[in-house]
């Protein structure tokens, strides 16, 4: 979730919000390599925030790594910014501290969401250049023909740009439905749903099973747990191997 830079800096112990406004105005803060200005916001889970050339670290917080099976109807945000009383992924995890979702899912989708306060790890897991695999189980309306599956595998023109090749396994198909396993290495907004709709076979059900080396396992919708030390090590190894 994005917050104003002066608020994040104050939380990191760098002085009051007013004092930090002066630091920002003096051009001493950068976000993703760009000099920040007053009023800018950033998400410490995915943005690189530098103050006087040093990374911003939130004070008095140990690194947390949590896996959640997001149910349908829950939004992948820290708060309902539209004020509609919608339940968020943060509402489902009663732990203290700042944690942020890594790899969002839209409201009708379900499955694996990682939550962490490790900004460096989150950035490498979500930035398109690192191409971490995400595995989805998808059920479409109707019988998706072979030619459409082959075209989807090779790449589809979306927003004027070809999507990356996507391994697709056909699991089950009838006149009423098509069930597939899809691996993505990019994360365009609502990518699977938009491609399926373009073929005239809208998504009936979408569930994310894996991000990189981390799988959802037997977590039921709404359940969560801390990652094990071994899982955290696997994640860190995965991001270090992607240059």
- Total residue count of the chain as it appears in this document: 243
Angle at 127 between CA 122 and CA 131, to 5 degrees: 110
The region that residue 49 occupies, defined by phi over 0 for left and psi between -120 and 50 for alpha, beta otherwise, is beta
Q: Please give the backbone phi and psi of residue 179, each rounded to the nearest 5 degrees, phi first.
A: -115, 130
Q: In the beta sheet, which residues pair with residue 88? A: 75
Judge whether 106 counts as a catalytic residue: yes
Name the catalytic one among 80, 106, 118, 159.
Answer: 106
In 95-186 the beta strands, taken as DSSP E runs, fall at: 100-102, 110-116, 134-141, 157-158, 161-162, 168-173, 177-184
Catalytic residues: 106
């Amino acid at each position: 979730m994005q917050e104003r830079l002066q608020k994040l800096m104050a939380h990191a112990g760098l002085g009051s919000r007013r004092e930090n406004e002066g630091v920002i105005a003096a051009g001493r803060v950068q976000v993703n390599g760009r000099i920040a200005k007053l009023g800018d916001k950033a998400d410490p889970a995915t943005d690189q925030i530098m103050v006087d050339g040093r990374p911003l670290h939130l004070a008095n917080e140990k690194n947390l790594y949590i896996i959640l099976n997001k149910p349908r109807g829950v939004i992948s945000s820290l708060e309902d910014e539209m004020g509609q009383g919608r339940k968020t992924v943060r509402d489902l995890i009663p732990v203290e501290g700042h944690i942020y979702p890594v790899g969002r899912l839209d409201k009708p989708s379900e499955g694996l969401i990682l939550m962490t306060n490790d900004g460096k790890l989150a950035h490498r897991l979500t930035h398109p250049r690192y191409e971490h695999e995400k595995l989805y189980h998808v059920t479409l309306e109707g019988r998706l023909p072979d030619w459409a599956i082959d075209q989807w595998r090779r790449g589809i023109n979306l927003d004027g740009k070809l999507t990356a090749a996507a391994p697709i396994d056909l699991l089950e198909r009838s006149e009423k439905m098509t069930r597939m396993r899809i691996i993505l290495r990019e994360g365009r907004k609502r990518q699977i749903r938009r491609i399926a709709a373009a073929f005239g076979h809208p998504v009936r059900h979408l569930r994310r099973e894996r991000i990189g080396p981390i799988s959802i396992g037997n977590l039921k919708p709404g359940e969560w747990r801390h990652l094990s030390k071994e899982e955290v090590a696997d994640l860190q190894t995965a991001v270090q191997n992607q240059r």
